[in-house]
Amino acid sequence: MKGLKHTPGPWKVWGNGDLYLTISPDKASVSDICHLHLPSHEKELEENYANGKLITAAPEMIEILIEIYKAQYDKGSSLANLNGVISNSKNIIEKATGLSIKEAVSE
């Protein structure tokens, strides 16, 4: 995907002591994606870890969205291609949320 300018994935969450989480391609990276503050409140701490999972899934999410678009609109694509791509999105949803697909889609 030549036109994309973001740092290529996969991205990971790295703990840096008790102060913050770093999101980057690897621990030795000189270009961190972001830092998430680790608050002392349990609810905010849980929320920041969940935010970290969501952020690290971003490169895969854009790739699957592009694949869905291409499967739908590219000439010569079939419904089978689209179904396959949509099926692959399950793993990305689970990675981004830290939940099973059933938990993630329940209302």
Residue 1 banded pLDDT, cuts 50, 70, 90: low
The boundaries of the domain holding residue 11 are: 1-53
Q: What is the DSSP letter of 7?
A: P
Mean pLDDT of 33-42: 80
Domain co-membership, 47 together with 61: no
Identify whether residues 91 and 43 lie together within a single domain: no
Strand order from edge to edge, sheet including 12-16: 12-16, 20-24, 34-37
Instruction: Please check whether residues 96 and 63 belong to one and the same domain.
Output: yes
pLDDT at position 84, please? 77
CB count within 10 Å of CB 33 equals 19
Are residue 63 and residue 41 in the same domain, yes or no? no
Same domain, 64 and 105: yes
Q: What domain count does the chain have?
A: 2
User: Residue ranges of the alpha helices (H) in 1-107?
Assistant: 42-56, 58-73, 79-97, 101-105
Report residue 21 CA to chain centroid gap.
16
28 and 65 co-located in one domain? no
So what's the pLDDT on residue 52?
87
Same-domain status, 75 and 93: yes
Asked if pLDDT for residue 90 goes beyond 70, the answer is yes
Q: How far apart are CA 85 and CA 27, in angstroms?
A: 31
Whether cis (ω within 30° of 0) applies to the bond prior to 10 is yes
Residue 16 sits in the same domain as residue 48: yes
pTM metric for this prediction: 0.73
- Residue 20: its pLDDT value, please? 76
